[in-house]
Structure formats: structure tokens, C-alpha cells
Structure 1
Amino acid sequence: MKAHRRNALTRAIHVSLLLALPGLAAAQDAPPTDDATTLDTVQVTGTRIKRAEIEGQVPVQTVTREDIERTGLTSIADVVQTLTGSGSALNTKFNSSGNFGFPPDGSGVGAGSAQVDLRHLGAKRVLVLVDGIRWVNEASASGVGAATDLNTIPLAIVDRIEVLEDGASALYGSDAIAGVVNIITRRNFEGASISAQYGEYGEGDGATSTADIAWGWNGERSNLFLGASYTNQEKVLARDREQSSLPVPGTGLAFGSSGTPTGRFIFTDPNTGATLDVTPNTGDSDPTYDPTQTGCTRTDSYHCFATADRFNFAQYNLLVTPSERMGLFGQFRFDMSDAASWYVKALYNRRESVNQAAPEPIFLGPEAGTGNPLADNIFISGDNPFNPFGFDLDGRLTTPPEDRNLILIGRRPVEGGARVFEQQVDTFYVGTGFEGVFDVGERAWFWDVNFAHSENEAEQTNFGSYDIRNIALALGDPDACAAVAGCTPLNIFGGPGTITPEMLEFIQPVVRDRSENTLTLATANLSGDLFEMWAGPLAFAAGIEHRRYEGMYQPDPLTVAGFYNGVPSLPTSGEYDVTEVFTEFNVPLFANAERGSRLDMSLAGRYSDYSTFGGEFTGKLGLRWQVVDELVLRTTFAEGFRAPSIGELFGSASRFDATLIDPCSEPFLDPSVEGNCRSLGVPAGYQQPNPQISVTTGGNEQLEPERADSFSAGMVWSPSLLEGTAISDRVDVEVTFYRHEIEGAIQAIDAQTQLDLCVETLNPLYCDSIGRAATGGINAFNNRLTNLGVIKTDGWDVDLFWTFPESRLGQFSIDWRNTFVGEYEAIGAAGQRQPQGVGIEVVDSAIPDWTSSFVTEWDLDNWSAAWTIRHISELREDCGGAVTFPVCSDPATSTNVLEATTYHDLQVGYRFDMLRGLELTAGANNLFDEDPPICLSCSLNGYDASTYDIPGGRFFYVRADLRF
């Protein structure tokens, strides 16, 4: 049925376009209309046709510069993420490097970047434009990104942001499945302006300072705009907030790490045959081991490892990552004649950011599950001068199973300090082109030719990680260590402070990774009126576009060689190009000037030829019915697609560390699957030693494009009975229903879902890629990209705009926007239901069923003020079956409820008459000090950093704007 619908729409659009195309040849002979005009011609996001009356055909939300300044935010991404239709996307509140590992799409972790997600369909399904031209994807220094880092675009150069929340692949090509964000830069600017802002949290941390300078000049035939921007965001430590300083908020140390500063040792004593799980007593830096004590009641230096011994990594994490951004932008336009102009624009932007994680743990032995044979198959010599056990600890696969006695060692060398990841990201952009107008008879046709080249280059330097090859050498045969220059036997057996600087010097390198994304494109477009029809002119746009993508990721040679103790990865590189042609028509079907009624149909089609997979046609059909002057009804149906990115196609094998609950582990074991666990080789009484499971990921050159259908229908109502009355100057109500359906979505099955289905069903589809050690623990997990089943979502946008009459109390206005998500369902190719859903929080992302933004603005003489109320409805998350943690508010269903959250923001400003153009503004976001709810499934700090205000607490700021 789905294929039939797609083919029917494609055929219909093909036929409609063919019927309209002959008008191109007849256009010169068509008689012009007397009222042809070009003075108020515009082009808006959502159409390529330049006509004044084309506006309003599709739902476009415009964020003006005044709207941006009202938020007190200093990043484009932060502004867009406050929109009610936005979903979970990466931002600087994610302390990602060293913890997230490598996602399956090969894009890297995007440390320090900020993205935009629309309709909860993912940042890679949103197309970002700058002045209507595609912007380069991010380089994360850990992969080849498939989404745009909005921190590469200085906020100071933005005039407005237009957000199209509708499928638009027929107009703009790949990636525009969920919508388009078009950033319009400042252009006709006269004079100079200086803006400075400083803000910090009520706790006195997280200071953010910005300084922007803009200068513009308009001559008789040319204009010039120059802008410079500086932003410095300081860090907020997790330990400086009560909730996030707790050991894994909401669970205590149950999910803490078994890689501890004192060390955890699980082994079988070859002398007694006893299997022990012990850790040295606190403060005992030179432990002694008594092999005769085989239980947990001991008098030597050890005790049995328990939950209280786990490590609280939260105290090292960041809630807000430091980020320093500097940008320069210039734009020059020259009118070569009254009908043609030339432009050139250039941008340079640098971001320097930092992520920090707890000291890197060293996991050794078969249960380590790192995927690195140097760690998993470790041999620790009994002759190591610091080995207190007096015998070899052997986990080598080459050793007969009956002689392998090492199961797991977890030691966290706090002596080496926290892991610190420093990013330096440079963005270069240059664009030039010609644009103009020519007459066909008395009709104006508009044309433009453009060329743009942009690069995003990133370098990441990692301090605090380890060389597992040197660790193995320093723990092995002392004679072999002595034969290597610099090798010092390693003491992982004592407590904190027993790893000396000499030991660290041999095992702790500096790791450097880099990546790059490049986009080169050329476009040519033509738009105008073809001929007069019975209800008005037939308008059209057509164009051709060629793009070339190049991307690479080069990890440190240590990582490539397989010696990096952290997350392993291999280099990635690839390139492809695409050539596209498109056409769009606006067909007037009916017009009645007396009633103000008009019915228009829009048709668009685009053919894309990719060097990687071939051709793809997408179409779009829309209707706009101006019923009367005050009521517009509109609907669109669009086909969409997203081509696989470089990372998705060519991403090499790498790894991410997922926090997973093994259903075969006590105390999570459900009796109904106990037999299956035994079939999988998990012994009775097995307890998962480490919740972090290493999952191998990678690209897939056989991937097909994602294909989508998008539908929207709605109305815009401006009731005349409320216009110019005592209670309102104007009222506008917008209601839009949307639905998106994606087939063949490129992603990997959720790792926890795959593990659960394996245990429940024993189906090889899920189990073949999961390996277990002889001890029962997971030691291999392959989670590669594929074209999964279907993602479906629908919902409603309901918006109200009310401007009150001006009075002696000033003028008030209301801007109330709401998004209600009706359905969200993601189903894998084999029918497996993914965990995401409406009202559910999972894996650092949420889909609230209702998000709302209510803004009240007031102006009186030189005073202005704004009160913003942001609301996020209740969410729920699974607490993990049989175990109930304190955070789980509904023990009967093992569910944690994240209560509905409402934020209040206040801003007050004053314009000075005695100083031309000076305005002072003061504001407070989260005025009533609302804390984000604790999230059990969220990584690291126990908060969803893309849904709630992190780190919580009031944020105060002041800003001064001077124009002269």
C-alpha cells in the first residue's frame, strides 16, 4: 500500500509538471497583465518561487532578532532548541567525550557542538541553510558528522531564523525530511553597533560573556556588512550541584563503576580453587593476601567487593562544558546595473571547547569486554614486584580453559587525573554569486547563480588516557619490561597513590584525533510568471545544483594500532557528489476578489543523481485556500529522502560503551527467561560486574537512502471581529496537523532492546552478534548500521498571537505556541519495537506529549519587558524490571516519573534618549529556581540535557546595546 501511494503521487506530479512545462516555451508570447509588479517580491523558506503572495503556503516559524535577544541565550542552537517543535539534540550541556563512545552512524560524538532536531526525528534529518545555501556538516574530531554544528555560525550575524517544520526534499534535496532551518544573515545595515552581555548562575558559576561588533555601509550601488563575535562560556562542575554530585543520581552506587581507585579483583586461586571477588581495604596501599581465607569474612587486607565499593564518577563530570567561540563575517554586494548584482561573503569561526570525564579506568580480563585483546587476554606475572597474590593472573585465550584463572580486574588510576578532551574547531566559508532580474514582455523573471565552498576542521587532544600495550608490558614478565626503554613495572594492586609518576610516564600518552568535512556546491535558479491563467499568473521556479562532499576522520596512531586503552576506532574517509534538477509551480485554480477568496495549488519535483546509489525523484503537492480574507486553509503532501552520509557509508569499525542491564544477571533475572540464560552459557548466580558494555559499531556501504512521506494540514485564522477593537488590535490563530513516516531509517537497533530480545527469544537475528565469555559475561556486541523498518510520528501545532491596543499602560502582546505529539513509533526491520515513544524518556532523549511557550511582551515609552513561560509535560522511564531504586516513584510498574516542569523567564529593558541607540537589558532565566527532574536512563549526570534547563538554578544576565 505504501509503495502504491508513493508511485501514485510521483506519477501525478510528473504529469502535472509535464502539463505545465510547455508554458516555458510560450512565456515570451503570453500577454502581460496590467498589474504586474516586482516591487514587493520576496522569497520565503518553503518555496523557491519569488512572489509576494506566495507567503503562507507552508507552516514557517520566524524567529526575529528581537525574539533571539529576548531569550538571553548566546547560541543559535540554544534558541532553536527552545521551540516547541524541537526534539532532543546535542548541545554544550552534554559532557560527551570519553563517555559516549562512537555512535553507529560514524559521526563521532560531536563534543562541544550544538545541533537542532525537529519533530524528534534526529538532527541528521534537518537541513540547515544560511541565506538559502546549504551549510557544511560538523567535524567532531571523532568521526565524520551527518548534522550541522550551529556553533559554527556566530549569533551576531543573524538577522532572523526561518524554521520550516515540514518535509521539503522536493525543494531542497536530501536531509530535509523533518524540516529546514534557514538562517538569514544581516545585510542592509547602516552605521555601527556594539553589544555586550554577561551572565552567570545564582551559584556564581557558569559565567557567560559575549561581545559583538557590527558595521554596515550602504552606498549608491553597493553595501557592505562586517561583523565580529566573541562568546566565552565557563564550566559548571557536577559536584557543585546537589543532585548531580550524588553517586549516580537516584540509584546510589548501584550503577557506579567497578573500576575503582583501590581496584577490584575477580579471579580463581589456583592453589585452593576458590573464586574470589575482592577489593583492598581502604587505606591499605600495600595489601597482603591470605589464600587460606576463601570467604568474605577475612582478616587479611581484602574484603568482598560490594555496592558500597563502587566508584562515583559524577564528581568529575561537567554539567556545562566550557566553550570559547570567535567569529568574523563579511558580506559585500555591488549593483552592476539596475537589473543585476554581484555578492561575495566570507566567514571564519573558531570554537575551543573542553569536555572532562572521570579518571580513565583500566579493565583487564575476559569480563572486561573492551574488545581489545591486549586487555581482554591479559597476562599478569606472579613475579611482578607489586603482585600480592603470588601467582600468575592469566586470562589468555591461548591458555587451556582449566588454567585460565583471571576473570576481571578494574582499577581506576586517579593518580593520572581526570580525562580532559580539548577541541579546536575551525570553520571556513566563502560564497559568491550573481543575481538579477530580466523582463519577458512586462513580466519580471528572477535569476541567480551561486558558488560556495565551506570546510569544518576539528582537532581533539586527549589528556589522561592510557596505552594498553604498555600496561600489558608493565604488568607482565619483569625481564621483558626491563628490556624496553622507559618500562617500569606497574602497581595496580595498591590503593590511590601507588602508581608513581615514573609508572604514569610509561603508560599515559597524549592522544590526538582530527577530522574534516568539506562541502562545495554550485547552483543556478530561475523564477517568474509564465503566463496568465483564469485565476492569475502561473508562477514557476526551476534550478540545477551540484554538490560535492568530502569527509575524513584520522584517529591517533596509537588508536589505529589498537594500543589505546579507551574507545578504539579506525580511520574513515569518503567522498561523493550529487547533481540535482528541480522545478516548482504555483497554479492558481480559483480567485474571487470581491470575497477575498483564492485557491492555489503548488507542485514541486526534484531529481537527484548520487554517485553512491543512483537516482531519486521526490515530489511535493500543496493546496492553499484563502476562504475569505481572514481564513486560510492549507495542506501539503511531500515525498522526502535522506542520502546516507559519509560516516554512515564508510565509517570504520569503532566502539561505544553502552550502559546496559544484562537480563541474565542477578538481581535483574526474570524467572521466565532463566532457562534461556542457561542456554546462552550464563551460570546460575551470575552477577554482571560492569554495566558498561563495549559495543562495536560501523558504517555500511550497502545502505539505501531513507525515504519519507510527510503530510500537513492546517489553518490560519485572523478573525476580523477582534481586529481594531477595545480588546485587541489583531488576533491570529494557527493550527497545523503534521505526520511523518520514514521507511528504511538508517540506524542500529537499540542495544538494550537487542540484548533483551536475544534473552527473551534466543533468535539468532539478535543473538548471533552478542558473544559471552566462559564466565557468562558479554564480551562481544556487534551493533552495525542498517536500514531499519519504520518511524512514524504525528501531532499538532496550536499557536495564538494576540496584540492588545495601546493604552496609557503601554502595549501588550501574547505569543503562545504549543506542540502536541500524538504518536511516535519506531519499528525495526524485523518488527522489534524501539523504546522511544510519546511521554517516554530514554537514552538522553525525550518526547513530551505537550510542550508550550507562552510569551507576554510589554512596551511603554522607553521601557520594555517580557515574561516567558516554558512548559514540558510529564515523562516516564523504565527503571529496569525487578529492581526498584529510590528514584523510581512507581514501584508497582518499576517506573520513574519525571514530573511536568515549568520554567519562568523575565527580561526588562530601557532605551536611553540622551544617548542615541543605547539600550540596557537585565534578565533572569528559570526565575523560580526549578530543578531538572532526575533521569535514571540518562548518561553520566542523571539529567536530560536536551529537554531541560541544565544545570538548574537561576541564570542572571545583563546586556548593553549601543548603536551609532
Structure 2
Amino acid sequence: MQALNVRALCAGTAYAALLTCAATPVFAQTAQPAADTTVEEIVVTGSRIQRKDADGVGVVTTLTEADIKNSGAGSVGELLQKLPSAGVSLSSNGTQGTSYGASSINLRYLGGAEGSGNRVLVLVDGHRWVDGVGQRGFRDFVDLNTMPLGMIEGLEVLKDGASAIYGSDAIAGVVNIKTARDFDGVKAQAKYGVSSEGDGQQYSGIVNFGKRFESSALLVSLSYVKDKPILTSDRDLTRVTLVPATAVGTSPNGLFILPGLSNNAYFGTATGFAASTAPIAFNAGATIGAGSQADNAFHTAALPGDYFNTQAQGIYSAGPSERYGVYTRYTADLTDKVRLKVEGLYNQRKSDQLFSPVQLDIGGTSGTIRGFAIPNSQAFNPFGTANGVPTANALGFAANQAWRIRKVMTEVGNRDNVQDVKTMRVAGGLDGTVSLLGRDWTWDVYALYSKNKINSRALNAINYDKLALGLGTACASAAGCVPVNLFAPMTAAQADYIRYTVVESNSTSIFDVTANITGELFQLPAGPLAIAAGVEHRTNKAVDNPDAFVNTAPTNIPTPASGSTFASNTSTTGQTRTPTRGEYSLNEAYVEAAIPLLKDLPLAKSLDVSLALRYSDYDTVGGDSTGKIGVGWRPIEDILVRGTYSQGFRAPSILELYQGGRQTSFQGVDPCNGGAAANASRPGCVGVPTGYNQANYNLNGLIAGTIAGNTKLKAETADTYSFGLAVKPRFAPGLSATVDWYQIKVKDAIASQSATQILNLCAQQGGVFCDLVTRDASTGAITNLLQGAQNLAEIETSGIDTTIRYEFSTDVGRFAAVLDTSYLDTFKTTSPNPTGGAPIVDERAGKGDQPRSTYPHWKGQASLTWSLGSWNALWRGRYIGDTTDVANTVKGAKTDSIFYNDLEAGYVFNTFETAVSIGVSNVFDEAPPASYANAPINYDIYTYDARGRYMYARVSAKF
């Protein structure tokens, strides 16, 4: 192979735009080799062409091994999510989110669902990775927590469309993870961190073994990471929901609406006692009196005495996780022109999310789950014959009566979702050189198979079928039945009887074969015309196996088949989901060219054009082609002017096509709160009772809903434009600056409107916009919200990225300063109006008024590093701008900006190159800005974290 000097290499890799050999513009920098150091030809993310003058026109951010180590991050996802160009991404493993232990990267906010990142292509050494899995079905994006940290030596982030180079999913950009290079010896690293509150501990360790032989090399990498939880009750911000209580909510003392107790002469109760307008609660610690004294153990529930804080019930702001990983690679030179590479990986993640106990809400013709009955002879009915009440005065509560019991089931225990995710990957290929047309060409053939599988459990759910049996007369004759007491604390035996564990599994897999060739066709006056070409075949599969019993109809509760208007069709508190499986295959071919047009001319130090064309043929949506053109012009050596236009293409994923209909709970604020009278200008609120508040229904206000796939989806397309300027003035060595404008338009975008968007459209427009929202006619409570993927009209986003960097040496050490900012100008979704009117435009830039959807206009990072001899230190700053919030009377309709500060210092010993560092993240213990839209946890867990000040120590060595 030919060689090139480092200056040329740097111009095409880390910050091609900066015209400088830098690492990331955010993290610590290391000294660079001398200008005459030579290296081999390279391939940079954003191009398949292997060339010696690797100048590129796309913006590539490169993070080195040192950057990863010095970032203070405990995972790849945490590192990438701090980039200013990253939008809301799955993180934190908290109870209020849907990450379930997974981690994603969502560039430009273009992920299809909250934080999913399914429009970002994640590669490892230029090859695809298997899709993620989840607690409630498989995913359609890469879970970064399936990658052992020790295998990673660097990352490249292309913030540009690259479908013409890499195929589907690269609309928002590409993340290429580079694996560790071959070496001789052992590299080890250990790290421990803990918050200033003494929680959120993290333990991590990496050991890499390397051995070079005469014509081969072996690498074995072992990784371990363990994160401990942070409870919402241990932070002021998350201890109590921001949404004020306007009515008595659910508590362990219960909330009872019981017909017959109002103005009951036998029990001596007042008018309205236990009525729907005056439910009663159990007196904590009381003993229920016999006969006519039974009512004395209950009181009419009222605030503030009956307020109950579900946030203090062991809920996670950040959940625990434990990851083990091993990565191996063997390479061998079969001949002087052919090399073999074989890889293997196994990774396991165990994680869980703790929730408050089930908030039961059952009844006859009232309640969330209906069709229950409690006869007057039930063993624990305090108003029945078993408690000494005469038959003539005994009260029973039939399935066709409007009775209701709401209760936090503390005796059953906190709900706990537990995941065990195993990832396996085997891959191998050949690469080498061959002489064609009188020139040397580089080629490679590569194949991989990978499978991701999760076994999940949802502990401490409730079996409605057993509960119905335990409340009824048939319990006495049913084998093993335990009569259940819902009026006072249950016994352990009763809790065990109705407790249920939901057991499920799902998996994804990928089989991928690629072949590529790159070389120079002929010489032009300004340089060689280089091309790359290749073909690819890929098959993706996914299977979802939900709990069979959860999806069966109950036998002890009336079902819809019975024709009853008060029927229920759910057997447990587990969310129903239909089993599903799906797959798709595709064949692709591409060609790419790098064309130098001008060189060393007045006002044209260089002028280069890059072209790419790819054709993709899916067995689900057919074929389509995408193209890309990029232009880089240097009027003088100090300045690069560049621009790109690229077409994007994304076929619907298996999840979007085949996801089985599943129950879920959406987070959101109902715009019809207060009822129709308080929302007279909102036609969709007509019929909602006065005083209604969704927070009083369905698990503390979470909105019951259904999500489903859509087999009629078609592929989405995109147009991406970028224009930028990079300056590295020769009169100021070490100084560089870039500014880049981008615009991305996604047409026929596959997306699901958020629960808040659906509710707002229904409230404000009424009519057909309310077809997706089902309410209880008597209470106004939302009983189901349907959310499904569809080809929306268009998503458009645009903004500006800016980077300034300055490196210099002084008598007191070497310094490197970096400022990296991103301005989000617009992010809007334009959807067709079902009524035929003007399209509906939802502009999100600058807003944060939806759960886990914060879109600040400004985000930025800065760093200042210093090194002198064996000593080094760094400061990092990270800024997230303010956004709008839901209009409310509690905190104002704004989510404040925040600025985090981090510090780190280290020393490198000569013995075994031992490096010791200590650091503090979030030095000033900044809490996330309060967000009413994200109640009850009160902040966007995908944009901020509630960890607070965090101290860590790290030691590494080479043997």
C-alpha cells in the first residue's frame, strides 16, 4: 500500500472541516505525531473509498480511545448522548422511561419514537449491528449497551445523510464504532464512581489481551460494568410530582365507592357516605368492627389527610444494570495480498426498573377493570353476613352495580421489570489487494450473523382472574382459592394468591454479506479519479413471544363474548400484546467516485467532487435508488468551503410493519382536565364532567393505550442539504473554526404521533381527531388511546453547527480549548388534515412541553485541557438551553437552561504507564430543570440526569 503523511490523514478524518489533526472537539486532546510521520491508507466514515488524500466534504466528529477514557462516561451511549447534535436518546434505565436498560443515539432528533434513534445507522468497523430488544417487544434501533466497552477504541460520527453509501437508516447520520487495534501485552482499566448522595455507584473494569505472531494476531477483550440505582425519593426534584392533587388519589388505605352505604339506617351513615362524590377510605391501623360498627373503620376521604405520594414507593430515577462482555478477534495474513479476519462477541445485560405497587382500580360497572362482584356473604366483606351483619341488612356489590375500589397494593409489593439480554455475534471475512487495469485495488468480503434475545419478567403484577375468584362465593369450592380482603390490609397468603409474574421473550437477528472494492481508475490533471463499488445482501428477523396467560380472556370475570356492557377482557395487570414475527430481505449495490477537478490554481488550491449512487431492493417495499453529491473547494490553503446534497431512503422496520397490538400506558397531560365547562373553546372536551382530572385515573394519571404496527407502510425518503466553511489560518497556528448549516426533509416519514399530540388534536379539533381517543362516558377518563405508525407527510429540521478550537504551548504546559455548539432552528412535522383543511404543522424547536421530548434551540459543549510532563487536567462544560413547558400555575411555562461543569486531574507513572485520574462531574450539583410536562418524575430523563454531583476515580496500566 501507499503511504501519506499525518496532515493529509487528519484532513479527512477527525474533523475534516477543521483541517486539523484533532480528536473530538469536546474531550481531552493528546499530543500529535510529527508532520513527517507516515501511515497507511484509510477509509473514513462517510466514504467507502480508500485513498491517500482522504479529504472529505462531510462533517465527521472523531472520538479517540483517550477521549472515551477521559470523558467520565460509563458507556458508549452516555458519551454520544452528550454531543450537541444528539437529541433525546434512551438512557438512565429509569422507571418513567421506556429504555428498559437499553441505550440509543438519536442524531438531529430524528428518531422515529421517543429517543429510539431508528434513523441513525450504527456500524462497527463499517458493518451493521443487530437491532435491540425490549421489555415489551423487540426494537428497531441498535442498543449501544450490547457492545462491550473494552472492544471500542474510537468512534466516528458523521452528521450527514449517507444512504447512498451505507443504505437504509442513515438519514440522520452514521455512527461508526472502531474496535481495538492489535497489540502485544495486556491493557487494564478500573473505575469507580459514586454520587455525592452516596448512591448511583458504578463499578467498571476492562482487561484486553493482545498477542502478535509472525503473520497473525489475536485480541481478547473482557468488560464489566455495574450501575446501582437512584431512587426518586432521594432527590428533592423527584420526590413529589409537580402536578398538584385536586382530588383524593389512590393509597394503601383504599378509596371505596359502595352503593347502599349512603344514608344507611343500620350502619348509621350520613347521606352521600361512600358515594361517587364522597368515596371512603380505611382508617389506617383500625380494626373493622362487627355488624353495624363496620363503617366506623372508614372515613370520607379528603385532602390533605388522604394524600399519598406514589413517588416515594421505591421508584427509580436511574435503575440498576450489570453488563458482562467478551470480544475476540483473530487476523492472519494468508498470503502477502490476502488477510483473514474472524470475530466473535458475547454480551449479557441484566437490568431492572422498580415501580410503585399496582394501583388497583376495579368495580362492577365503574373502575378501569370492570365486571367484578363481591357478594354479601364474602369472607372479608365488612358490610356482609360474614362480619355479623343480618342478611336483611347485608350489602353485596354486584357486577351490574356502579361500585368501585381503588387501592395501592403494597402487600403484593413493588412492581419490578427485569431484563436478561444476551447478544451473540460471529463474523469473518477476507480482504486484500489485486492488480486491475494496471493499478492496485483493495477488496474485501465480509459476512456476519448476530442475534439479540431478551428474557424478561414483570414481577408483582396481579391476577385479576384469581382476584375475582377470591372475592366471590365460588372461592369456597375452588381448589386452592384464598378469600381476598380488599377492605383492610391483606395477609401474606392473600397477596401470594393474587400475585402474578409476567414472563416474556423476544429476539432480533441479522445476517449480512458484503463485498467491496476500491481503487484508482486513472489520473486526472488534479489527481487520481478514485472509485469504490460493492454489493450487499441482508436479512433481518424478529420474534415476539408475550406471556400467553396475560393475553387470554379471564374465566371468572364477564368477558365481551358474554354480551355484557360492563365486561372486562383482561386477565392480569400485565399489558396485553399479540405475538408476532416478521422478517425482510434486501439486495443492494452501490458505486462511489472521488473526482479531483482543480489543484494549485489561483483561487482554487483544490476543487473536489464526490459522487455516490446506491440501489436497494427490499422484498417488503420494492426497490429505490439514492444519490449523493459533495463539493469541497479551497480557494486558498487556509479555507475550505464545502457542501453536500444527499438523498435518503429508509424502509419500514420489522417493528413498524409487524409489531403486535399491545397495551401500554402513555405519559401526558389531558387537555380536557377540568371538564367541558372549563374548556369551552375545545370541542373535543364536550361531555367531559366538571372537575375531571386524568391524574385521578388509571395508575396515577398514566393514559391507557394501544400501540400496533402497520403492514401497509411504505418507505420514507429524505433530502439532506449542508453547506459549511472551515478555516485554519496559517498566521495563528493551532486555531481552527468551522460553521455548518444543514437541512433535512423526510417525506412520507414513518412516525407515530405522541399521546400528547393526539390528545391536543382531539381536544382542539374534535370530530375525526377524537377517533383515536376513547373515554368513559360517565367519568371522562381515557380508557384507550390508539397509537400506530403511519406515513406522515413530512418532517423538516434545520440548524447550524459551530466549532472553534485553539491549541497552544506555554512555559507552564500545553493547552487545548474547544467550543462546540449546535443551534436547532426548526424541527417541524407536517401532517395531513383528515378534515381536508390545511395541513397540521407541529413545530418542536425550542419546546419541551411533551414528556421526554426536549428540543432546545441551543446546546453546546466546551473543554479546556492542560498537560505538563506526567500531569494533566481538564475542565468540561455542557450547556442545554431553555425550552417551553406545559402552561401551569406551579412553576411557570418554561424549562430553564442548565450548565454542567466537570473537572478531572491525572498523573501518569513510568511503571507500566500507570495512569491515575480523579474527577468530579457536575461540580456544582446542578439538578435538572423542573418540567411540568414530565411529571411525576418532573424532568426529561432522556435529556438530563438527576444524579447530581458525581465523583470518580480511574486507574489504567499496560503490561
Shared fold (TM-score, shorter chain, > 0.5): yes
Change beyond 3 A, Cα 1:357–1:812: same
Amino acid at match of 2:721: F
Residue 492 of structure 1: CA displacement?
1.2
Q: What secondary structure does 1:670 align onto?
A: helix
Residue 262 of structure 1: CA displacement?
1.1
Are the counterparts in 2 of residues 658 and 692 from structure 1 also a CA contact under 8 Å? yes
Given candidates 348, 351, 358, the residue that maps to 1:350 is 348
Report matched runs for 1:120-159 at 5 Å. Answer: 120-122=109-111, 123-159=117-153
Query: Counterparts of 2:503 and 2:743 in 1: how far apart (Å)?
Result: 44
Residue 909 of structure 1: CA displacement?
0.8
Give the equivalent residue in structure 2 for 1:798: 802
Give the equivalent residue in structure 2 for 1:235: 229
Deviation by residue 1:551-591 (Cα, 9 ceiling, x = unmatched): 11112222222422132222121111111111111222222
Q: Give the structure-2-normalised TM-score.
A: 0.87
Residue 683 of structure 1: CA displacement?
4.1
Give the equivalent residue in structure 2 for 1:711: 721
Query: Counterparts of 2:703 and 2:864 in 1: how far apart (Å)?
Result: 48
Give the equivalent residue in structure 1 for 2:378: 384
Residue 675 of structure 1: CA displacement?
6.9
Change beyond 3 A, Cα 1:413–1:67: same
Deviates more, 1:278-287 or 1:583-592: 278-287
Are the counterparts in 2 of residues 787 and 829 from structure 1 also a CA contact under 8 Å? no
Give the equivalent residue in structure 2 for 1:23: none
Residue 686 of structure 1: CA displacement?
4.5
Give the equivalent residue in structure 2 for 1:607: 615
Amino acid at match of 1:842: Q
Q: What secondary structure does 1:414 align onto?
A: coil
Residue 549 of structure 1: CA displacement?
0.8
Deviation by residue 1:268-315 (Cα, 9 ceiling, x = unmatched): 54977954341324315455799999xxxx977221454653431212
Residue 748 of structure 1: CA displacement?
2.3
Amino acid at match of 2:723: A
Change beyond 3 A, Cα 1:747–1:676: closer
Give the equivalent residue in structure 1 for 2:243: 251
Change beyond 3 A, Cα 1:559–1:826: same
Deviation by residue 1:378-402 (Cα, 9 ceiling, x = unmatched): 333333232345434345xxx4xxx
Report matched runs for 1:546-945 at 5 Å. Answer: 546-561=537-552, 562-592=570-600, 597-666=605-674, 669-673=677-681, 677-678=685-686, 681-684=687-690, 686-688=692-694, 689-690=696-697, 691-723=701-733, 730-767=734-771, 769-804=773-808, 806-830=809-833, 831-834=839-842, 836-879=844-887, 884-885=889-890, 888-889=891-892, 895=893, 897-913=894-910, 915-945=911-941
Residue 162 of structure 1: CA displacement?
0.2
Indicate yes or no: 2:478 matched with 1:484.
Answer: yes
What do you get for the CA RMSD once the two structures are aligned? 2.5
Give the equivalent residue in structure 1 for 2:207: 213
Give the equivalent residue in structure 2 for 1:112: 101
Query: Counterparts of 1:835 and 1:270 in 2: how far apart (Å)?
Result: 52
Indicate yes or no: 2:197 matched with 1:203.
Answer: yes
Give the equivalent residue in structure 1 for 2:114: none
Residue 786 of structure 1: CA displacement?
1.4
Report matched runs for 1:507-518 at 5 Å. Answer: 507-518=498-509
Residue 721 of structure 1: CA displacement?
1.0
Are the counterparts in 1 of residues 365 and 371 from structure 2 also a CA contact under 8 Å? no
Indicate yes or no: 2:252 matched with 1:261.
Answer: yes
Are the counterparts in 1 of residues 366 and 402 from structure 2 also a CA contact under 8 Å? no
Give the equivalent residue in structure 2 for 1:87: 87
Q: What secondary structure does 1:74 align onto?
A: coil
Are the counterparts in 2 of residues 663 and 669 from structure 1 also a CA contact under 8 Å? no
Give the equivalent residue in structure 2 for 1:282: 283
Amino acid at match of 1:963: K
Give the equivalent residue in structure 1 for 2:49: 49
Q: How many percent identity over aligned positions?
A: 32
Which runs of 5 or more residues in structure 2 are unaligned? 1-37, 112-116, 264-270, 384-393, 553-569, 834-838
Give the equivalent residue in structure 2 for 1:335: 333
Q: What secondary structure does 1:666 align onto?
A: coil
Indicate yes or no: 2:332 matched with 1:326.
Answer: no
Residue 607 of structure 1: CA displacement?
1.2
Change beyond 3 A, Cα 1:687–1:737: closer
Give the equivalent residue in structure 2 for 1:471: 467
Amino acid at match of 1:825: K
Change beyond 3 A, Cα 1:509–1:292: closer
Query: Counterparts of 2:869 and 2:407 in 1: how far apart (Å)?
Result: 66
Deviates more, 1:869-878 or 1:778-787: 778-787
Deviation by residue 1:317-369 (Cα, 9 ceiling, x = unmatched): 11221111111111111111221101001111111112100111111147877
Residue 419 of structure 1: CA displacement?
1.0
Query: Counterparts of 1:784 and 1:228 in 2: how far apart (Å)?
Result: 41
Change beyond 3 A, Cα 1:584–1:459: same
Residue 771 of structure 1: CA displacement?
4.1
Are the counterparts in 2 of residues 546 and 579 from structure 1 also a CA contact under 8 Å? yes
Give the equivalent residue in structure 1 for 2:512: 521
Deviation by residue 1:464-491 (Cα, 9 ceiling, x = unmatched): 1111111122223x2x122222212211
Query: Counterparts of 1:685 and 1:362 in 2: how far apart (Å)?
Result: 22
Give the equivalent residue in structure 2 for 1:531: 522
Are the counterparts in 2 of residues 844 and 939 from structure 1 also a CA contact under 8 Å? no
Query: Counterparts of 2:620 and 2:425 in 1: how far apart (Å)?
Result: 26
Residue 855 of structure 1: CA displacement?
0.7
Residue 94 of structure 1: CA displacement?
2.5
Query: Counterparts of 1:131 and 1:597 in 2: how far apart (Å)?
Result: 33
Residue 460 of structure 1: CA displacement?
1.1
Query: Counterparts of 1:351 and 1:482 in 2: how far apart (Å)?
Result: 45
Amino acid at match of 2:90: L
Query: Counterparts of 2:785 and 2:152 in 1: how far apart (Å)?
Result: 45
Query: Counterparts of 2:57 and 2:865 in 1: how far apart (Å)?
Result: 28
Q: What secondary structure does 1:223 align onto?
A: strand
Give the equivalent residue in structure 1 for 2:454: 458
Change beyond 3 A, Cα 1:486–1:299: closer
Deviation by residue 1:648-688 (Cα, 9 ceiling, x = unmatched): 1111111221244444442785342477644xx43455454
Q: What secondary structure does 2:435 align onto?
A: strand
Which runs of 5 or more residues in structure 1 are unaligned? 1-37, 101-108, 724-729, 890-894
Change beyond 3 A, Cα 1:314–1:59: same
Give the equivalent residue in structure 2 for 1:32: none
Change beyond 3 A, Cα 1:59–1:353: same
Change beyond 3 A, Cα 1:947–1:760: closer
Give the equivalent residue in structure 1 for 2:12: none
Give the equivalent residue in structure 2 for 1:24: none
Are the counterparts in 2 of residues 44 and 55 from structure 1 also a CA contact under 8 Å? no
